[in-house]
Structure 1
């Protein structure tokens, strides 16, 4: 089953925002990765504890995800680029098809590839300006 979840960008305030959202809406933080956890991390020392990725699973099962955008890494929040739609799909082939079909007239931010955290992942902005994160999560060995 394909899933769709919002992915937000914050200017260094992700952890504060997610603590607030959790206190208001409830749910559980199911994943938190800091920039210091990244392989080949080039983040300045004073920003290493900023959030690279966080997931908040709401009581109904929806998931809100986010990251801190860091100007020191060349990232900047501009109205309109502070969110993505994160599309979870059921196979690499489906990920490739959707990515390919969203790309014409748009902009590839990150091509589909196997990532260090174990998913098949890519980012594309379609011709309408909508930003998509496409993810296929490989089955876990039992």
Structure 2
């Protein structure tokens, strides 16, 4: 495992929140907007200006976030996930199987449009996890 980061989910105000966190914490902020992404056609048109993925990096601090594109209501205090950056694809699958045991498999690991192997689950204690591996570019 390389590291663990926080991933926050917002109700249509991710851009505002992440801009605020950048002002408070400093660092570089990158935002991917739904309407400018390959999944734009898969989501409702009213979401075109929402943030699909945001990342704030300042030294050792990495804060990631997005607007709620899943459709389910967000509960305050439970609108986050722990994101594990894995060392290889096998680690993603192994950790996913262990953490999803007696939990809920939300999105089994697969290679996503951005090129990473990615999966989501909720463990048996109700904690939301994201597992990610970014293959080295050849």
1:119 aligns with 2:119: no
1:14-33 aligned at under 5 Å gives the runs 14-29=14-29, 31-33=30-32
- TM-score normalised by L of structure 2: 0.92
Alignment match, 1:96 = 93
Instruction: Report the RMSD for the aligned CA atoms in angstroms.
Output: 1.5
Query: Aligned partners of 1:41, 1:77: CA distance in 2, in Å?
Result: 23
| Conserved? CA contact 1:33–1:54, under 8 Å | yes
Alignment match, 1:84 = 81
Query: Aligned partners of 1:39, 1:25: CA distance in 2, in Å?
Result: 30
1:62 aligns with 2:61: yes
| Conserved? CA contact 2:40–2:48, under 8 Å | no
Structure 1 stretches (4+) deviating beyond 3 angstroms? none
Query: Aligned partners of 1:16, 1:43: CA distance in 2, in Å?
Result: 21
- TM-score normalised by L of structure 1: 0.89
**1:80 Cα shift?**
4.4
**1:38 Cα shift?**
3.2
1:8 aligns with 2:5: no
Flag structure 2 segments of 5+ consecutive residues without an equivalent. Answer: none
| Conserved? CA contact 1:35–1:41, under 8 Å | no
Query: Aligned partners of 1:38, 1:98: CA distance in 2, in Å?
Result: 28
Q: 1:72-92: per-residue Cα shift (whole Å, max 9, x none)?
A: x62321234300000001111
Q: 1:29-56: per-residue Cα shift (whole Å, max 9, x none)?
A: 1x32111113362333332011010000
| Conserved? CA contact 2:34–2:40, under 8 Å | no
